[in-house]
Structure 1
């Protein structure tokens, strides 16, 4: 404990608490993405006279509203307190999900879906900025812990919605999950703490210029290359949802349980690979994406008996790459531009990645009767695996531009001289 002040020791639990609160917000943010999916059939009967295409369009609208303003959310994260943005964003998301549960026509439902997406768009730029300030020398590890929330949210959302809707209808799980998110936003606002240096942060464009135009163009190129991973990941998810029942005869319940293993793997992988990002980012990320690409390409070659462990392994490595790339972006961006840099990556990766769901359906539909054979899917999953590996071409730019946090103390919640505390 040499060199550690009493105030620094007292500050450690505060910093750790804020990271875990960010993880809880992360869980709600992603829970709202998937809570609607088990409710499609019930919602279609009430809102669209049975049209599945119209009710599934709700999620498309939500995702576009989530990803499209990500850069603008990053601008806000660079200029204002992330604490307020995070609490306000989740409150908006939660209230919109409540509104979705109370709506009685498709038009209103589309509006609430868009509002939910807009509220959620604040999360990643603001949370990454906040975590990087709290843990400048252990950013990867802290982001890995925050990433736990996403896996929990992705798993619990469909499970709770399906279970609750079976006895209370489709409105109850939406209203209850929405209100729980609003309550979590209040808890975050009450308990989360910010580094005191935020009081001195710039609040206008003249004081917060950020990097030059060439830097942003290079960042945009790196974001596009990294989006190959996001596109492939979305394609693997949608492709597996069709591959498992068509080629192996999985029931809908078994298919859902199998796909949930991807997110269970992420719960284990995020802390492990987040910590790795602090020590050997380049070699670690290369290993993680190579294994994930191989696991994706191997799926149609495997017997049904080992598909579940294979999906767990795939999720462990693939989802574990996210805290690593977030840490890489934080290191590549100067402090005054971290929110915007993360916004660029979220916007590009999210918008392009969402196209993969359509592509997966189109490619697999073209298989026709051959789709009953696992061998017919080898080309599809091979393309996905190759794209995951090709996303590593973004790494040289991230390494070249990396600005590693200087060794020394983290910003204290009460003053700027407290030592770094571990989450």
Structure 2
């Protein structure tokens, strides 16, 4: 990778890890708030849903802002907002203040993905590799964030832990303020991407043709929504539905198939309080997320070696197989369960660089932030329905039926990826 590529990837990778560190630390803190405040799980769940809802809903206006003002400083604002929100959490005297703080976090975090991905797509020449490293950094935050929060809570009061969690954002801002890179180094003068051009030939000015009014926003959206872009959004939505559907209740599902930890290691006495508290499912779940780091890397490399639609169809097909085989493998024993869980984690995250690169290929560089805004509205917004779907299926048809039902999402994804490949071929022929 070129020096400019490395600088952008380092900046966005660190920021991505911070975003997901906060996202996954919130459920750990929820356990503390349930005992700290006189609140029911229903009320606290609604409070948390405010932050997560804004995390998805704010992606679209975040994309507009990224195109209007440039992604680099929008990411800096995102980091400052997230760090400030957790400082507010640490000072919260009651649940309404926590709701406000999490709302601030959701709004601040929502702009990251359209801004960060826009920066990679316009500034990094080795785009696939850039997306891969970016995704791997996000997975590091996903896996290590909740673990670090849980370990800190063993030593410190939750308020101090929340304040300490603001430190990663401060460090990331420090990196941003000292980093030097060209945010448009991979964009040619006519708005296309330069796969083989040198940095000296790259455009040196920010894109400024972002929508400045509602009518302009609607006009840009109509222009953006070609058949290819609509198909690509369908691919993203299918990924989001399967992702949320499988991961939301996966720890609970794993618990039903795993024996007590004392059957394997003598960390605790059987029947002791510590043995009861130590849930092996949580650590297998964390391991699954760690395996996803490798999936991100491989998926990113694939974008530079095969057509992205081919990669999407292949990974979706693999997820279909995993959905069909997950429960039979779990019922076969711990070994098969660990194996199918590892494959699930690998494939769930291998697909992310592929669809991110697909969006970049079917959208103009000047509307890249807007395109990623729609992308993460589909991924986080539409995808959130996957949790409701899996919850209903678990209560109605059990675990076997749930995974078979969820396998329909990647199956539709295969169809959409093939259709997108055919559409791009038609468009190329027409050109």
> Structure 1 residues 347, 261: closer, same or farther in 2, change over 3 A?
same
> Structure 1 residues 225, 313: closer, same or farther in 2, change over 3 A?
closer
For the pair 1:343 / 2:373, whether they are aligned, the reply is yes
Match of residue 145 from structure 1 = 133
Which ranges in structure 1 are unaligned for 5 or more consecutive residues?
Answer: 1-10, 368-375, 405-423
Q: Give the secondary structure class of the aligned counterpart of 1:279.
A: coil
Number of positions where the alignment pairs a residue of Structure 1 with one of Structure 2 = 384
For the pair 1:175 / 2:181, whether they are aligned, the reply is no
Q: Give the secondary structure class of the aligned counterpart of 2:181.
A: coil
Deviation for aligned residue 1:221: 5.5
Separation (CA, whole Å) in 1 of partners of 2:222 and 2:283:
46
Match of residue 194 from structure 1 = 182
Separation (CA, whole Å) in 2 of partners of 1:169 and 1:139:
42
For the pair 1:315 / 2:345, whether they are aligned, the reply is yes
Deviation for aligned residue 1:284: 1.8
Deviation for aligned residue 1:247: 4.2
- Cα RMSD of the aligned pairs, angstroms, is 2.6
> Structure 1 residues 19, 225: closer, same or farther in 2, change over 3 A?
closer
Q: Give the secondary structure class of the aligned counterpart of 2:248.
A: helix
Match of residue 194 from structure 2 = none
Of 206, 229, 238, the residue aligned with 2:239 is 229
Match of residue 26 from structure 2 = 36
Match of residue 145 from structure 2 = 157
Match of residue 410 from structure 1 = none
Match of residue 245 from structure 1 = 255
Match of residue 284 from structure 2 = 258
Deviation for aligned residue 1:397: 5.8
> Structure 1 residues 272, 247: closer, same or farther in 2, change over 3 A?
closer
Q: Does structure 1 conserve the Cα–Cα contact (< 8 Å) formed by 2:70 and 2:206? A: no
Which ranges in structure 2 are unaligned for 5 or more consecutive residues?
Answer: 185-202, 261-275
Of 409, 414, 418, the residue aligned with 1:392 is 414
Deviation for aligned residue 1:16: 0.6
Q: Give the secondary structure class of the aligned counterpart of 2:407.
A: helix
Separation (CA, whole Å) in 2 of partners of 1:379 and 1:385:
10
- When structure 1 is superposed on structure 2, of 252-261 and 26-35 the one drifting more is 252-261
Deviation for aligned residue 1:330: 0.3
Equivalent residue runs for 1:3-14 within 5 Å? 12-14=2-4
Match of residue 413 from structure 1 = none
Q: Does structure 2 conserve the Cα–Cα contact (< 8 Å) formed by 1:131 and 1:142? A: yes
Deviation for aligned residue 1:235: 1.2
Deviation for aligned residue 1:402: 8.9
Deviation for aligned residue 1:32: 0.8
Q: Does structure 2 conserve the Cα–Cα contact (< 8 Å) formed by 1:270 and 1:323? A: yes
> Structure 1 residues 330, 30: closer, same or farther in 2, change over 3 A?
same
Of 241, 249, 269, the residue aligned with 2:295 is 269
Equivalent residue runs for 1:77-156 within 5 Å? 77-136=66-125, 138-156=126-144
Q: Give the secondary structure class of the aligned counterpart of 1:255.
A: helix
Per-residue CA deviations over 1:234-253 (Å, capped at 9, x if unaligned) read 11112322212234456763
